Structure 1
Amino acid sequence: MRMANLPWQSVGRVWSLALDFVYPAICAGCGIMTGSHRGLCGPCWSTIPFIERPYCEVLGIPFVHDQGEGAISPKAMASQPVFDRLRAVAVHRGIVRRLVHSLKYKDRTELAPMMATWMARAGAEELRKADAIIPVPLHRWRLFLRRYNQAAELSREIARQSGVTHLPRSLVRKRATKRQVGLGRKARLRNVEGAFEVPAENRDTVLGRRIILVDDVFTTGATVNAAARALKRAGALEVTVLTFAMAFAAPI
């Protein structure tokens, strides 16, 4: 039977089988064959250090013991962030670190839908109340060199899955900054100070709104604090940071 005479469902099935032959379904973590694309094998899945309650209501850092509803960690009390709260999928180590690195530096943008699905679950409560989703932007020269913004890849998928408005141009990085990797906390703060702004023509997209600010990984918080400060100055009502990974020493 000629391809032209096949029903569209059959054509799609043939095309899917052809793609599976050329690009077989493999685990996004270790590379072994799996039953579906954009997934993990059982052993890799079992090693993911998911962040679950109980955790600090502000920073999302997990507690060893339940501290009661609305508990805030000493770290959040000692240094209150500019953003209102943070939610993350998992601790930045092992397979989680590899996924972040692959998306960010190895052009593995096909990982974004899977990672975004987990992020949408981690931030489900805040997404239900959100008015818009905004990615942490790259400077235009960094974007030109890398060709894509990993935060925008994630935020676009989260918006598609949640139905929340995606505003990838409402926040811009007006000044080129050094890579944060390898910098100490104070150096990170200086590096991103004043680096973000909401252009005047975009302020009405932010004013009075609850914003979900998306990034791939949270470390010291310097970048998302600087971005949240720009959003708050433009009149954002709330800023919730949603990341795939969080780097910290241990539960408290």
Structure 2
Amino acid sequence: MIAQGFKLLIRSFMDFVFISECEICGKYLEDSKMIVCKECLSKIERVDRFDIERKFEEKFAGGFISKAFSCFHFEENTIVQKLIHEMKYNNKRSIGKILGEILGSSIRDEHDFITADALLPVPLHKIRKRERGYNQSELIALGVSKVIGIKVISDLLVRVRNTQTQTKLNLHERRENVKDAFKVKNKYKDFIVGKKFIVVDDVITTGSTIIECANVLKQNGADKIYALSVAIA
């Protein structure tokens, strides 16, 4: 804990000493936790509707996900990849909330999403959350909530196994890795029945994590489950 606090102090000092500039246009950044300005962020290419529908069919057809939406493509060596990396691993939490607000603005006219009962961030295991200090999916969900006004329930879903990172796993390995990794917290057992939920993650790659969350929610009586992410691979 002391070592983690020291790292945060060093980061804060570096932010104070060095002026942050947008990595795209070079403009001064008022928020040193960002790496691009809002103007450049707004110009990043979005996933079009046809592509979203195609990827939805590839990843979720036949399962419990009724609808899915993502803002950006996730590709290597892009500004989107760098934003998500900085958010997850370099304590740049404001990136998560800003990306969440962009995501929320993109769905505020979507009836299925805005009539959901709650936003559910994909949970981190308590060990990983303690190491990182926060859950990036929760930050994104809070940004979405700010725009569409749906509450975030961060502890309804619990990760009961500290699974390995999915990054280098194939589809089969990813599914096995997250199998039985989640459960619904007991205090929400009655609340969940008949409700509609949006499961929020940073990136959807194969969809395995979202699918496993949806399975658990359905087993506990949820009506509909939607998936929402900043980016999709």
Give the TM bin, normalised by the shorter chain. 0.7 to 0.9
Determine helix, strand or coil for the equivalent of 2:190: helix
2:122/2:199 contact within 8 Å kept: yes
Determine helix, strand or coil for the equivalent of 1:213: strand
Aligned length: 212
C-alpha distance in 2, partners of 1:240/1:218?
Answer: 13
The structure whose residues are more often helix, as a share, is: 2
Pair 1:168 & 2:182 matched: no
C-alpha distance in 2, partners of 1:31/1:209?
Answer: 44
How has the CA–CA distance of structure 1 residues 58 and 168 changed in structure 2, closer, same or farther, with 3 Å as cutoff? farther
Q: Per-residue CA shift, 1:162-212, capped at 9, x if unaligned?
A: 211211111100111111010111111000001001022212332211101
Question: How much has 1:106 moved relative to structure 2?
Answer: 1.1
How has the CA–CA distance of structure 1 residues 152 and 44 changed in structure 2, closer, same or farther, with 3 Å as cutoff? closer
Alignment of 1:65-76 (within 5 A): 73=57, 75=58
Q: Which residue, 81, 88, 96 being the options, matches 1:112?
A: 96
C-alpha distance in 2, partners of 1:21/1:95?
Answer: 23
TM-score by length of 2: 0.81
Q: Which residue, 22, 26, 41 being the options, matches 1:32?
A: 26
Q: Unaligned 5+ residue runs, structure 1? A: 1-19, 61-72, 248-252
C-alpha distance in 1, partners of 2:126/2:221?
Answer: 24
TM-score by length of 1: 0.75
Question: How much has 1:131 moved relative to structure 2?
Answer: 1.0
How has the CA–CA distance of structure 1 residues 183 and 204 changed in structure 2, closer, same or farther, with 3 Å as cutoff? same
1:30/1:44 contact within 8 Å kept: no
Q: Unaligned 5+ residue runs, structure 2? A: 1-14
**Percent identity between the aligned chains?**
28
1:130/1:211 contact within 8 Å kept: yes
Task: Say what the alpha-carbon RMSD is for the aligned residues.
Answer: 2.5
C-alpha distance in 2, partners of 1:121/1:207?
Answer: 28
In the alignment, what sits opposite 2:62?
80
C-alpha distance in 2, partners of 1:157/1:44?
Answer: 15
Larger Rg: 1
